[in-house]
Amino acid sequence: MVGTDSNGLPITEYCDRFGLTIHERLRLFLELCSAVKHAHEHGIIHRDLKPSNLLIVRHDATATLKVIDFGIAKVVMPDTDLKLPHTRIRQWLGTPNYMSPEQMQWSPDVDFRTDIYSMGVILFE
């Protein structure tokens, strides 16, 4: 169950509950940037980045970010023979409050920038 220390807390809830400073919040955000960069380098667009999919787990005194729920992720690897199902056009996937304008408009050209947009919304929160 999300919200317990064993499974982690959503990033925004964790920051508020433990009164993290701006510096501490930015350290967690940099972890998110690194994780998303890693996914993007491997051709994966998450498409549903939101606080409840970004869990902070504490091990001793260290907080670690876990990016979860790649259920609607899009794989974009043009130089592969891997046959993947395509998302249908006009299929609304994601959480509206965190979706990029392109994702909200059902654009078939959603790319890595949609995750960057969602990260900006999360950083704003």
**Count of structural domains, the chain:** 1
Domain with 81 in it: what CATH number?
1.10.510.10
Give 74-78's long-range contacts (Cβ < 8 A, gap of 24+).
Answer: 74/44, 74/45, 74/47, 74/110, 75/43, 75/44, 75/45, 76/43, 76/44, 76/45, 76/111, 77/43
Q: Give the tokens for residue 69.
A: 């729920």
- Does residue 4 belong to any structural domain of this protein? no
Is residue 17, in this structure, part of any structural domain at all?
A: yes
User: pTM (2 decimals)?
Assistant: 0.81
Catalytic residue, from 16, 48, 79, 109: name it.
Answer: 48
Dump pLDDT digits (tens) for 56-111: 999 888 899 999 998 888 888 766 555 545 544 455 577 888 888 888 887 777 88
Tell me the C-alpha distance between 72 and 52, whole Å.
15
Mean pLDDT on 7-24: 95
Catalytic residue check, 48: yes
The predicted-structure confidence for 22-68, as pLDDT tens digits, reads as follows 999 999 999 999 999 999 999 999 999 999 999 999 988 889 999 99
Residue with tokens 């920038």: 113
The range of the structural domain enclosing residue 111 comes to: 9-124
Does 89 fall in a domain?
Answer: yes
